[in-house]
Structure 1
Amino acid sequence: MQTNLRLIRKSRVYSDDFKREIVSLFESGKFSVLQLARLYGISNPTIYQWIYKFSNFNEKGQRIMEMKSSSTNKLKAMEQRIRELERMIGQKQIKIDFLEKMIDIAGDDLKVDIRKNFNTPPSDGSEKTQEK
């Protein structure tokens, strides 16, 4: 005796408040879509649909890109490196300005032109001298 068994599709219905809560968790950055899907047993496309529907920031037709923690760490490291390089450039510029001012002061006090003069033609070299 065989019974006629049909596959029953389970369909869940979620309240709008629950959907908004999931979207707010995503927007706050506490969880990624993948983490929310695993945590609540909801498929990724469903969560993306909710994001497009209830999000204040994301609109339909725009692609949502999630940054991995390693990407975030790389970005922070690069920003730190940029700040460090900008600081070094500032210090070098101060040193250049100081040295140029010192050259100007030395030139005024000693009445000697220390700066390189680019208008002078290069020398032809020295002539050979005869030995005695």
Structure 2
Amino acid sequence: MYKNDKVIRRYSEPFKLKILSELTAGKLNKYQLGKAYGIAPSTINEWIKKYNRKDLMNTRVTVKTKDEITRIKQLQKEIEQLKKLLLKKDMDALIDDSYLEVAAEQLGYKSVLELKKKLSIKP
């Protein structure tokens, strides 16, 4: 099969499992196996996902200093405070709109927009 003048390779299930077992043995890593068999490491990653072999996936370890951890906690706290303030602001705006609706109705205006025009309030 050809796609854009490139050969599309199909690998058998036993071949895929053989590659994964060699990877499990630990003698070669994904890149070395890829070179040895002419397979892209991303293809090997797909097989790892397909066969649910999370033990073979690369793991990312992040090392942080105490200052970084403290800063992250401060930022998370600030985010929570901002969320609360935004919620309060939204609630205040909703209450203001409700007051205007009641006022417009009691004063005999057809809509809040009409009341705002009369009071020169920007809609």
TM-score by length of 1: 0.40
Q: Which has the larger radius of gyration?
A: 1
